[in-house]
Structure 1
Amino acid sequence: MFDQLDVPSYTQSPLHGGARTWTETNCYIDIWIELVHLLGLAAEPAGVCAFSADSLPGQWSFLKYQPEDLRALYGIEVAEFNPWKDMEEHVLEMMAAGHLITLETDSWYLPDTAGVAYQLDHVKSSIMPLRIDPAARRLTYLHNAGLYQLEGVDYDGVFSKPGTSNVAPQPYVELVRVDRLDRDVETLPRRTVALAREHLARRPADNPVARFADQVRTIAPTLPERGFDYFHKFSFAYTRQLGLTAQNAADACRWLASQTIDPDVLTDQQRSELASAATSFDVVSQEMKNLQFALARVTGGRKKDIEPALTLVTDQWDEAVRRVVGALC
């Protein structure tokens, strides 16, 4: 299916561009952004899943494009896959049938994570193999913000070959079917509005960012004694997850606002409200990056007043959701 892909000349999705606040989101959403981009479709509509995101005890919810969302927007079918044989064999079988998989594996063997995890740390991450050459022990795959290639011992490690140690010995795997793609771009805005309303109907009854802020206020004073190992895990679970959620929400709002939609679906005033909501979500996203840097300074023992940022993001999230609800519900 992707036999002509060339890693050096690959052009990543604009949603992973260098000017983005979060050039990478989380490993799961990132591979979907790139796959949808490869298929010639807009990934922004899938960001409406952010409208139902919530603050949980100990973290902000890990944002994922839901299988039902991918089906409704793009006709992509996603289902859990039972990996009962050698994973290399499964990948070969699925590709021969024209299907793909998402594979949970060990970043120790992913060269694109050099300097972060590659041969440094065993961390679970999700990839999507696109081309495989068993004889050459070479794999081309989507991960994080782009398309990459690995080979040799890394190939063996990704597939948990004998003599390697993979942090995901029983990986979570999904089957991805793209043989029923819906390429009707004319109706995509209408379907996006319908999906956005479903997520809004499931949104928290209160402002989840207010609860998020309370948790940060409690944890921040303890960061100096906990150290930077804890901070890096904390920031991924808190500031990064809320930041990327807000960025996805902004993308979805801005995309809808830019579409020519039947006035019976969205009026010009409603699209204007969505554009304003996107601006507020952008503020939340950027402030989470700023807050992450501020909390790093706190961890290092410096004094930093984080209250203005927490107050701002709480208010801006509330404003953004109010405008989205007004426009779509």
Structure 2
Amino acid sequence: MRARRHRAHELHRGERIWRDGAGPVDLWIELLHGNGLDPHAGLAFTVTQDFEDDQFTLARLPQEDIEKLYGLQVQELSVFDSLEERAMVQTRRGNIVLVEVDAFFLPDTRAPSYRSEHAKTTIGIDVIDPDAKRLGYFHHTGYHLLDDDDYDGVLRTSPAHAAEQGGAAGTVHGQALFPHVEFAKRVRDPLAGTALAEVSADLLCAHLLRRPMHNPIERWRAAFPEHVDTMLSRGEAYARLCACNVMHPLGANFELLAHYLQWMREHGFDIPVSTHLGARRIASEAMVMQCRLARALSHSKRDLCDASFDAMQEAYDRVVAPLAAIVC
């Protein structure tokens, strides 16, 4: 089995503010791109991100948008005997199998995850060769192959692997639980060109109607002093987890929004440059803030990052509400 010829999408190439973006969205960007589709059109949902009191909403392409734009329908896959067997049935139909796996067995992950840390992540499997024990899959910002023991680990083809992963995820009456599995199948032809951009604009309007009622960065700022005190008391490891669930998703989401707004401009929509620049400002300032806070915490200092909050709040006010006034 040969690896498909796949070059990462332009959203994952060149200069990026957030090298590791939003995992589930990164997967779909490459999955769509690998099937000849333009993932830019699916990024309208980014205007809905909110602050959830302890984290920012995790970016995720809505399944309804995927179907409207690309003609792909995502369904849950029932794994009633063997994950390998069920995945083989779907990939032979030309479908992509989306399965939550242990990153421990994914050779594309950078150290220290591969073969050293157990962590959940989702991959999109498009081809399986059970005789050679190899499979091809989309993950994060690319397309990869794995084989041999990694194949057994991902698909749980041996009792030892099933028991090991089941112990981490939970068991019922001593039996390992199957992972959550979905599959994406073609139900209609994808949109392209002007039709794709126009439907994406309609989705943008619909998502703007679902935008947060209040500036989420302002709400985060109100909660931030307590967050800083908790990070100081619980130490560096907890502070890294906070950054991964607060600053990272915020910055990565608005970097995607900036790319989306530029794409809309290129397709003839009257999107002000100020909204694109404002989204990029949030993305870059979130990175600045993450570094600044890490330095302060390493010296046990309480830094409330007022300058970063001032910049991000002002930028947000130049992006989402004005965009709604123009588009909707």
Q: Does residue 188 of the first structure (1) align with residue 196 of the second (2)?
A: yes
Q: Which residue identity does 1:202 align to in structure 2?
A: R
What is the aligned partner in structure 1 of residue 46 from structure 2?
A: 50
What is the aligned partner in structure 1 of residue 306 from structure 2?
A: 307
2:155 to 151, 156, 159: 159
2:27 to 12, 25, 31: 31
CA distance in structure 1 between the partners assigned to 2:305 and 2:229 by the alignment: 11
Q: Secondary structure at 1:128's aligned position in 2?
A: strand
Q: Which residue identity does 1:324 align to in structure 2?
A: L
How many Å apart are 1:282 and its aligned residue? 0.3
Q: Which residue identity does 1:148 align to in structure 2?
A: H
TM-score (structure 1 length as normaliser): 0.90
Q: Which residue identity does 1:291 align to in structure 2?
A: M
The answer to whether the 8 Å contact 1:23/1:145 transfers is: no
The answer to whether the 8 Å contact 2:274/2:318 transfers is: no
Q: Secondary structure at 1:294's aligned position in 2?
A: helix
Q: Secondary structure at 2:26's aligned position in 1?
A: helix
How many Å apart are 1:307 and its aligned residue? 1.1
1:99 to 92, 95, 98: 95
Closer/same/farther in 2, CA of residues 116 and 295 from structure 1, 3 Å limit: farther
The answer to whether the 8 Å contact 1:60/1:242 transfers is: yes
CA distance in structure 1 between the partners assigned to 2:79 and 2:23 by the alignment: 20
CA distance in structure 2 between the partners assigned to 1:228 and 1:17 by the alignment: 31
The answer to whether the 8 Å contact 2:71/2:186 transfers is: yes
The answer to whether the 8 Å contact 2:70/2:189 transfers is: yes
Closer/same/farther in 2, CA of residues 182 and 239 from structure 1, 3 Å limit: same
What is the aligned partner in structure 2 of residue 263 from structure 1?
A: none
User: 5 Å matches for 1:128-147?
Assistant: 128-147=124-143
Q: Which residue identity does 1:323 align to in structure 2?
A: P
User: 5 Å matches for 1:1-329?
Assistant: 5-6=3-4, 10-161=6-157, 162-164=159-161, 165-166=164-165, 167-168=168-169, 169-178=177-186, 180-260=188-268, 266=269, 270-271=270-271, 273=272, 275-301=273-299, 303=301, 304=303, 306-329=305-328
Provide the aligned length of Structure 1 versus Structure 2: 315
CA distance in structure 2 between the partners assigned to 1:139 and 1:283 by the alignment: 40
The answer to whether the 8 Å contact 1:224/1:300 transfers is: no
How many Å apart are 1:228 and its aligned residue? 2.4
User: What is the aligned-residue identity percentage?
Assistant: 27
How many Å apart are 1:20 and its aligned residue? 1.1
CA distance in structure 1 between the partners assigned to 2:322 and 2:37 by the alignment: 27
User: Runs of 5+ in structure 1 lacking a partner?
Assistant: 261-265
CA distance in structure 2 between the partners assigned to 1:227 and 1:112 by the alignment: 30
The answer to whether the 8 Å contact 1:37/1:43 transfers is: yes
Q: Secondary structure at 1:299's aligned position in 2?
A: helix
The answer to whether the 8 Å contact 2:45/2:62 transfers is: yes
How many Å apart are 1:179 and its aligned residue? 5.2
TM-score (structure 2 length as normaliser): 0.90
How many Å apart are 1:305 and its aligned residue? 5.7
CA distance in structure 2 between the partners assigned to 1:299 and 1:89 by the alignment: 49
CA distance in structure 2 between the partners assigned to 1:258 and 1:238 by the alignment: 31
Q: Secondary structure at 2:108's aligned position in 1?
A: helix
How many Å apart are 1:318 and its aligned residue? 1.6
How many Å apart are 1:278 and its aligned residue? 1.1
The answer to whether the 8 Å contact 1:104/1:173 transfers is: yes
Q: Secondary structure at 1:148's aligned position in 2?
A: strand
Higher alpha-carbon deviation: 44-53 or 111-120: 111-120
Query: What do residues 175-234 of structure 1 show as CA deviations (whole Å, max 9, x unaligned)?
Result: 101352314322111101100011011111111121122333321233233222212211
Query: What do residues 234-267 of structure 1 show as CA deviations (whole Å, max 9, x unaligned)?
Result: 111101111111112112111111113xxxxx4x
The answer to whether the 8 Å contact 1:17/1:23 transfers is: no
Q: Which residue identity does 1:297 align to in structure 2?
A: R
Query: What do residues 65-107 of structure 1 show as CA deviations (whole Å, max 9, x unaligned)?
Result: 0000111111111122222221111110001112111110111
